[in-house]
Every structure is written in structure tokens, then in C-alpha cells.
A and B are shown apart, each in its own frame.
Chain A
């Protein structure tokens, strides 16, 4: 993401070396801050040791417009350790956009004592003012974003045509190369020396004679077609029972359906 321009203000933090703190590894620590200017509400960032990664902490509830660099600068005020790696993990927005909402980032230090000191001191320092770390504090807004985005929707006709021609030309090139590659497979041996064999035209199909066209082709021993009649008594009974069962099943389904309708009738939305 694009970070805001940085402005480092050197502050000397008073270190209390005599303080002894026993930290719960799963404890959630907070860091007080505010935006600055007319935005003076007290806010909390939350810091926690990252159990899945060595020498790492997780910082959460970071406003997206604050930026990654400002967070690092704030931590440097009371824990001046070299940062090996830092990145934004996720956002709490519905569309997972890292330019909106509240961010969660991960910071990895070189030394393990950096984690200890950061978590130990973060609740006692501050509150920090975000605008102190920005040379030109300007926050994004919906109006600016929407008007800017609108302007991008209207490239000139020449640009549209150029983009279309460029893409289609590249697409045609890729298609041509793919076609050539496929053709080469059938004419040149591959690394193992094999050549792909394709289907050739088949010979004309032989004419198959149907039984009906040639009399007595099957001989005189054709089996009689089975007549679907209830010839035996048990078959008659079985059919009657099946019909009765179907009728009962249908009745039960009807009764169930009517019961549901009646229950819905008595239902009140609130």
C-alpha cells in the first residue's frame, strides 16, 4: 500500500529499567493514540505476541489512513529496535480492502528483547498524535475517492482503441504461437523421440443389417415378448396393495402440507 509521507520527530523515551513485568504470553496490550487536529478521541491500538512466529508481534485496530510507516515510527519512540520485516495482514472491511477500515499488521524484530520491551512499555507511553508523524496530514475521503474514480472511467477514445488493439494483437500472437506449437507436436519428435499420432480418416462403415429387414435371420426360436399382465392372484393382490400404499402416502403428504399451512397461518412475524 502507499504509505503516507513520513516525518520523524525524535523523542527521548524515559526507560524505566527497574520495572519488572511478568507478561502473559496471550495477554492483549494496548497503545493509546489519537489522530490530531480536530480529531482528538482517544483510541487504542492493540499489541500481542505472535505465537506462530518468533520475535514477532501483531498490531491491530490501525486505521487504514494512518499507514504502516507511522505505526513503525510510533513503536520506535519507546522501543528503538531494528525491524526485520513488517506487513499488513488483513482488514476488517467486508471486501477485504487494505485501503479501508481497520488494519492488522505483523512486525518482526531482529532481537527477542524487542518484543518484550514493546509489550511492556506500550501501555505506559503516549498518547501519541498521528499528525505529529506526518508532514502533510491529508486523509482520504469518500467524496475524493469517488470523484477520482469517476474520472478514471472515461479514457479517451484513442486510448480505448489503443488498449483494445494492443490486447487483441497480443492475444492473436499467443493464439498463433499456441497453434504452431500444437502443429509442431505432430511433425517433430519430442525429447524422447516420439511423434504424436492422430486419427486418420476412417474407412466407410460397413452396412449393418437389421433383424427386421431380413426375415428369419434369428431363426424360428424367438422368445415371446413378456406380456405385462397380472395373471396370478398374488400379482393382483400386490398391485392392489401398491395402489393403496400410494394413496395412503399421498394422503399423508396432503395432511402434512395442510398442517404446515395452518401453522404458518398462526405464525406472527413479530
Chain B
């Protein structure tokens, strides 16, 4: 495949990273395992012949406190037959120990097996007896002996292995039968032996069972060949380890199991694509390319092509084929897993070799639900599948297999019915017993009567499509489509005169459409009750939640349209001394990142006391007006050399300019426009815009002032008045607009960005971390960092974005590394990142707790210099972690909770005092009645209402200003009715000094105590009209 740009060469740093990640070889542990293995071998070789028993007698071992792995399948074993019905333990002649002593392979003597024991469960039963005898021999001599799931993927309890102090014992029999006897289309397991008389057919293909049997024949041979091929390939072994981490961190390890991964690498070694002398980066690239180009349509061979393998046969019976000596190692894979694996690898392939992408690729791990845009929970009980046992009972041995067959069928149906709606789907076993792959000798393996799965979708733009469009009518495909959808399918004519089969789910795009499709699949196709399936995504299915989303979307669209219209108007204004050349909106409302609380539209004032000549409304002193936001817009004028050299003069001239613009807007466009000294307010389509002229001449003057200061030999220019003025101006009119531009571009390319930021802001508010604790720009930068993080498949929904955001906040090492935000257009190169990190480490003692670096701020403290404080950052990390746990509970838990409500629940318990606010003072909360823009045909010109006046914001600012020495204040900007007060512990008692006595009272000659009553009284005085009462908690 072609890569983007040049291929990054191998660097020493990357090599060090890879080698340091490799597991350290513990020589003592290896030696201990070797000794254990050798001891096991001695015990078995010196054992005596066991008693003769009937192989159907699975209860024989009970008296020795050992349970046969097939004990729960007694009926199935009774239905088998063998030419040698007796079983007798004889010391094995062949016991092979791997080089590192981690595994022992014991050959079952061929004498114990009849000629046709490979049929049904005969061999499995005898193998079980063999394992039970070994377990009995070893249980008194070793500390810990237990059964463990066997098979190629270590997930098969029927063909159980034994685990002895970390050493695995496997049992194989290469002479059981020839490998071609286990071709996929041959039936070696009669369903009647498992499910009694349910089936009449005797020859049904059992491809899965055949693979399980094949592994027991070929296990040692394959293991030895793999070990031989990889013995000299140190680099390849390291690559296998790294890729194992890769798949595990993305929750793909149950699909891409170590045996598959190792087989693919062995295949590359055999083909000469991986050699001993290659660097780790080259080997990784080769392996990545191999997996990415792995086509599910081809039957591939680990070794050379095997002529006795019927390729067509394998292709029909398995989704994915990776054949080695007739054994399909990839028989457990499905196309969906392949799609997701390829997606993940393709994202990471161009990043190989980058030092700072190593951790996201190979080390960091997200929760499983964070990989998907929509998640659901499926709980299956075996009794619910009774009607489909004819279908799922074929090629199944126990309940686990039946449920597994159902899941595969369900996955296939999902692909048939809604493949156009998602990129990939993942089905993950989240049952409480999912991790129990080992069990005690005296216990049975899990019976698996019920299973729970998490089903995740990565959605596409067609996720909410109200139609499922089928093939054209009167074709064979149309018949299949109608058979699939039954009576719900109908014919529909499209604009291009096509007549197609179509299923109509809704009249407009909606989140409910994919839910309806899946409910159809479960109920109509599998006869399952609706209660076994529940969606666990962030957005609830209630009508009000969807209405909220529509409201926010319409608000943003209205703002953007009004802004576009206003830009055209401003650029086209005539009669001004200088033309307006540039209009740049820098408000969060334009990209939907600011919640429309209560509304983006202007409030209508019922009182009309002001004179008719005025175009604006003023608040009454001491009364709280309705809240109206403003959309800030920066404009630039055409160049002029006549501004002069005085900042104040420019300011005055600009205010005069505002007056002239307002006059023109009123005369030419009938808009309500109100000029002030420093800005101009315009009412357009019911939305208030705040226009600010940005004059580059001011920058020049300020820079000249600083230069004069430098020329005069002054030191510490940054802290001088001139230096501070220049830096503040640059921050407000250069840095912030540039950042806003990047954010605007990012939100355009990521449609869910705005909704994620809104959710984050509301969530921060519910945790009382609104306002000054986290700058609005930092909030948006954090979301950009979470969405645009390299090494992960990017999210496509608010749910997954928010999950990753919480994960980023709670796992990023804020003290040790900066957060480098990359907008994706032109990122930092490796060298640049290296320098940034190095500079961070040098300056760490004087940097703030949170450091966020982006293109316009290489120091990373422009917006975090004062806030958040360390204690607030710690709290943010803690509540983020707590929220992740809540989301995990939502995804995995038995009962579905109202996710948004739970996430946004306030908790008042941590605070020392609670300030209760008057309801009328909380002006920025969700409106009960939706505001609407005024009708265009209105005869009366609307006045500009009171704008940007939030009494709670003002109060919190003043509280921090007055009491920041002794207390911290926390509140929810978006509808919170309380302010939390936290007194600083170090201020409880202070020495009696004049410099420490503010807000304290004397308790002795040498000690002052914090006067909490005084503080709360002052709060009430400051908050008259806003604060209803203040409650001090008991100490």
C-alpha cells in the first residue's frame, strides 16, 4: 500500500522504545519452570499402569476429587461408540518440553484409541480421561494444579489442558487419523449424539468441530515448527509481542489470538519477507502491511500451498482462511473483525517510527466502549434459543457453542440488514464469567447457560438513514431482499426513475431507525424478546432528548446563517471612510460549542420604559434581566496611514466609526445597531452580534513602546506595564482569533465536535468546575486532543468522543508531560515535539499544573497560567475517572440508566458551605419555553436587549476577588442553583500577624481562627438579590 509522504527512517529512539517495552526475561522464573516441567516428566514416566475403566464412565474420577471436563456431557458420551471401549492409563512414551519450559506436550498412546474414535466425542472423552489421570498423579506433588481451556485459541474447555504452577500440559495424538479426514465439508460430529433425537440427518458438515480435532492432532508439530522458525528471529519475536499489545489494547485479542499472529509472522519468515538482519521498524511495517492486505476472500497458507486442500470448500465454510496442514487457524475470525482490525492497523501504519506515537499505538488502552460510536447490550439465555436449536445445534457440543453460533448468525444478519450504516461492528463477551478460563480439578467448567455481549458500532453518515434501500424490483436480488424483510418491504420509486425494494422506518433521519432495524432482526428473525437487548449509548431514546439535539442544531445553524448574512452586509457597506475588508467570527456559538442556554436568540423585553428613540434596553438597577448571548465578531478595515500614534486617539476614532456603521446599517438595511465606545451591537435575525474593530496600528504602537523600553536598558520587560499591555493585546486579538480559526475549521470537519464540547461544558458545570477554573479555549483544546489523537480510529459520535476525552483527562501524566494538541492539518514534526518536551521538562518548576501546547502556544501556558490550580486539576482527574466508571457501568451493567441525567447530576457533599441562589438569578439554564426569532414581517423594530449579563458569573468573580485568600468557589454555569464554598485548610488557624488577619478573628494572643460567619455574612451582603441563603455545614 502507499503511505502518506515519505517513509520515516528508523531512529535510535524508536528502537530503544521497542526494546525497552519487551518483557524482561526472568532467568530464575525460566529455570524454575524448567525444573517443574522436568519433575512433571519424571513423575509421569515413572508412573504405573492405571486401572482399566470404561471410557464412558465419566464419574470414575469423582472419588479422587477430580471432575472430568466432559462430565456435563454424559449423555453425549453415552451415545458414542468405540472399537476399544476400555481406557487404561499407560506411561506416555513421548513427552516433549519446550525450550523455556513453559509447556509440555504429552502424546496419547495410539493403543488407547480405536480406528474411528475421531468421530463424535469419543476421542474427547478419552483425552479427558488421560488428562484426569495426569491431574491425579500431579495433584499431590505440586502446589497448584488446575484445568485450563485448551485448543488453538486457548478457549476450548472441551479439550482442556492442565496448568501446573504456570506450566501448561497439552495432550495430542498425531496418529488419530489423517488430516484430510477433517476437511471442512466432512461431518465428524453427529448432532443426534448431542441433542438426542432432534436431528435425523447423519452426515452434516462440521467444520468447526473438525478444526478442534485437527488442533489436537497437529498441536506439537505446529508448536515445534513455529519455535524453530522464530528461534533465530529475535526481532520478529519482539514485533509479535508489540502487536499482541496492539490487539489487546484495542480489545481484539479474542479475535486475533496469539496463534494467528504468530502464524502470520511465521508465514512472512518462510516467504523471506522477514529476515534476521532487519530492524524492528522494518519488521513491524512488513507485518502491518501483511495484515492490512490480508483479504478475507482468499484462502491463504502459512506454508506452501497444500494441494490436498479444496480451496473452494474452505472459502464457503469459513469467513477467513489461514490454512496450515489442513487446519484453518483463522476459523474463529469473521469479516467484521477483519474490517475493524484493518481499520485500526491502517490508521497506525503511517505513524510507525514516530517516537511520540509509540505509546498511543502500543501502550495506551481505551475502554472497550470508547472504540464505538453506539453501544448496546445483548443478554442471551440458552432457553431463548430453543426454537433455533436445529440451526445452531449443528457442529455444537454444548451451550457455549450454541450461543456462539447464534452470535455468528446474529452478526451475519446485522451485516445483511444494516451494513451501510456502520464502518465496523464489534461483539465483545462481557459476561461475568468471561475471564474464567481455568478452574479447579474438583469443579466443572462453566455451563454457559447465559451470556452477555457488548455490541458496538462505528457509525457512518448513513447511520440515521430512514430508508433501507434494496435492489431494483423484479430481480433475483429483490426476491432475496423480500425474503429477508418479509412484509415490511415495499416498492418505492426514486427520483432517477428507479423502482427499488425499500423498507421505510421513519419519515426523517433519526436515532430510532437503527434501533428499529435491530429490534426487527432480534424479534422477527430470532424470535427473541425485546428485553434481551438494550441500547447503552449516551443519548437516551426519549423524545425530549432528541428534541434537545434538534434544538441545539437549529440554534447553531441559525447563528451561522445570521453571521453569514451579516458578513455580506458589512463587507458591502457603502459611504464609510474606510471599507470593511475582513469579518471573522470568533464565538463558540458559530461552531456549536457553547450550549444555547437559555437560547441563542435575543430575549424580548416586556417592559418598554425606555424612550422610543433608543435602540436598546437598559436594566433596572437591582433587577435581573433575561439573558441574551452575543456572538463576537472581529472586523478589519482597509489600510490607512492616518490613525496617528496614540492608542486612546485610535480608540476614540474607532468609536466614531462604530457610530457611522450603525447609521448605515439602520438606513440601508433596517437593522437595529447600537454603538458603544469599544464595540458595536447589531441585531440580525434575532441574534445579537458584538462587532469589534481590530486595528493593527495599535499593535505597532505597543511594539514601539516596548522597543523604546528595551532601548533604554530596562530589564524584565515582560512584567512592565508596556510589556503586559502588548502581551494582553496579542493574546486577545492575535492568538485567540487564530485559535478560534483552527477550532472553527476542526468543527467543520468533525460534525460532532460542537456537541461534545457542549456535553463537556455541561458535565464540568455539574461537577461545579465551571467558569474560571477551566478556560473555554482549554475546554475546546482538550476535546480536539481527544478526538484527533493519533494512533486510534477517530470517533464519529459524541459518545465515543466524550469517552476518550474522559480517558485522556484521567490518564494523561499532567505533571510529567505536556499535552500537545494537533489539529491534524499541519502537525508538529518529531524534532519539534522533542524540543517542546525538552523545554517543558526544563521549565516545569515555573509552569502551571496543566500545560497545553498547540500551534500558537509552544509554551503551553497561555490559557492555563492562573487556572486550573493543582488541587482543581486533581479534582478534575478524579471526577473524570469516576465518570468513566459510570459509563462502564452503563455499558456493562444489567440495568440501563439515564446516562445523561446521571452524568450531569450535581453533588453538594464535598463543600464546606453551600450558597443557594435565587431562581431568577440563574439566567443561563435550559429554557422551558423555546425562544423564537421575530417574524420578518414585524412592523416594530426590535430593540437590543440586555446582553451578556449573568449575575451568577458576576457574583462568582467578585467572590473570588474578595475571598481568594481563604476560600475557593465552585459552581455550575449552566443552570446550577448553588455555589460550593471550600475553605482553604491552611487558613483555619494562622499566627497572629497583621498580614494574616483578614477574615479571621482572635482566639488567643498568638493565634487567629478563620471567621466563617463573617465570610458567609459578607457573601450575603455581596449577593443581595442573587443569593437566597447561605448554609454552613457542621465541621
Contacts and interface: CB of A to CB of B under 8 A. Distances in A.
A95 B961 CA distance: 7
Contacts of A254: 11-13, 16
A143 B997 contact: no
B245 to A, nearest CB: 13
A142 interface: yes
B599 to A, nearest CB: 20
Contact of A39 (B646, B951, B1021): B1021
A257 B999 contact: no
Interface in A156-190: 157, 160-161, 163-165, 167-168, 171, 175
Interface string B1001-1030: 110010000010110111011111110000
Contact of B951 (A41, A94, A146, A151): A146
B16 A255 contact: yes
A241 interface: no
Contacts of A129: none
Nearest to B817: A264
Contact of A151 (B619, B652, B812, B993): B619
B618 A267 contact: no
A142 B960 contact: no
Interface string B972-1008: 0000000000000000000011100111111001000
A87 to B, nearest CB: 16
B326 to A, nearest CB: 44
Contacts of B655: 160, 163-164
Contacts of B929: none
B865 to A, nearest CB: 14
A94 to B, nearest CB: 5
B745 interface: no
B434 interface: no
A112 to B, nearest CB: 20
A160 B1024 contact: no
A198 interface: no
A251 interface: yes
A141 B1017 contact: no
A60 interface: yes
Contact of A269 (B653, B677, B874, B949): B874
Contacts of A257: 13, 355, 834, 837-838
A171 B17 contact: no
B955 A251 contact: no
A267 B811 CA distance: 9
Contacts of B811: 269
B1023 A141 contact: yes
B816 interface: yes
Interface in B646-685: 646, 648-649, 652-653, 655-656, 658-659, 662, 674-677
B877 interface: yes
B13 A258 contact: yes
A27 B814 contact: no
Contacts of B13: 254, 257-258
Contact of A28 (B17, B653, B1002, B1017): B1002
A257 B409 CA distance: 50
A167 B813 contact: no
B674 A41 contact: no
B304 interface: no
Given A60-B997, A168-B652, A269-B877, A160 B674 contact: no
A258 B621 contact: no
B568 interface: no
Interface stretch (A42-50, A70-78, A217-225): A42-50
B994 A58 contact: yes
A19 interface: no
A17 interface: no
A111 to B, nearest CB: 23
A206 interface: no
A153 interface: yes
Contact of B675 (A46, A94, A157, A255): A157
B506 interface: no
A131 interface: no
Contacts of B1022: 141-142
Contacts of A104: 994
A52 interface: no
B954 A146 contact: yes
A92 B998 contact: yes
A61 B949 contact: no
Interface in A236-270: 250-251, 254-255, 257-258, 260-265, 267-270
A102 B1013 contact: no
A48 B998 contact: no
Contact of A144 (B622, B656, B878): B622
Contacts of B570: none
Interface string B1-28: 0000000000111001100100000000
A154 B993 contact: no
A267 B961 contact: no
A101 interface: yes
B730 interface: no
B49 to A, nearest CB: 55
Given A142-B1026, A255-B16, A261-B17, A150 B659 contact: no
B339 to A, nearest CB: 31
A215 interface: no
A43 B1017 CA distance: 10
A81 to B, nearest CB: 21
Contacts of B813: 264-265, 267-269
Nearest to B658: A160
A258 B1024 CA distance: 57
Contacts of A101: 961-963, 998
A100 B958 contact: yes
A150 B951 CA distance: 12
A164 B656 CA distance: 6
Given A48-B994, A143-B1026, A171-B649, A43 B1001 contact: yes
A197 to B, nearest CB: 24
Interface string B350-361: 000001100100
B1011 A41 contact: yes
Contact of B659 (A142, A154, A160): A160
B422 interface: no
B841 A44 contact: no
Given A28-B997, A267-B815, A154 B618 contact: yes
Nearest to B994: A48
Most buried by A among B17, B616, B961: B961
Contacts of A142: 951, 954-955, 958, 1022-1023, 1026
Interface string B617-652: 011111110000000000000000000101011001
B814 A269 contact: yes
B901 interface: no
Contacts of B878: 270
B927 interface: no
Contacts of B488: none
A216 B815 CA distance: 69
A69 interface: no
Q: State the 6 A-B residue pairs at the shortest beta-carbon distance, nearest first.
A: A41-B1013, A264-B816, A141-B1024, A267-B813, A164-B656, A254-B13
Interface of A: 27-28, 30, 35, 39, 41-44, 46, 48, 58, 60-61, 63, 65, 92-95, 97, 100-102, 104, 139, 141-148, 150-151, 153-155, 157, 160-161, 163-165, 167-168, 171, 175, 250-251, 254-255, 257-258, 260-265, 267-270
Interface of B: 11-13, 16-17, 20, 355-356, 359, 363, 616, 618-624, 644, 646, 648-649, 652-653, 655-656, 658-659, 662, 674-677, 810-817, 834, 837-838, 841, 873-874, 877-878, 921, 946, 949, 951, 954-955, 958, 960-965, 992-994, 997-1002, 1005, 1011, 1013-1014, 1016-1018, 1020-1026
19 contacts: A28-B994, A43-B1014, A61-B999, A65-B1021, A101-B998, A142-B951, A142-B1022, A142-B1023, A143-B921, A145-B954, A147-B619, A147-B623, A154-B618, A258-B16, A261-B817, A265-B813, A269-B810, A269-B811, A269-B813
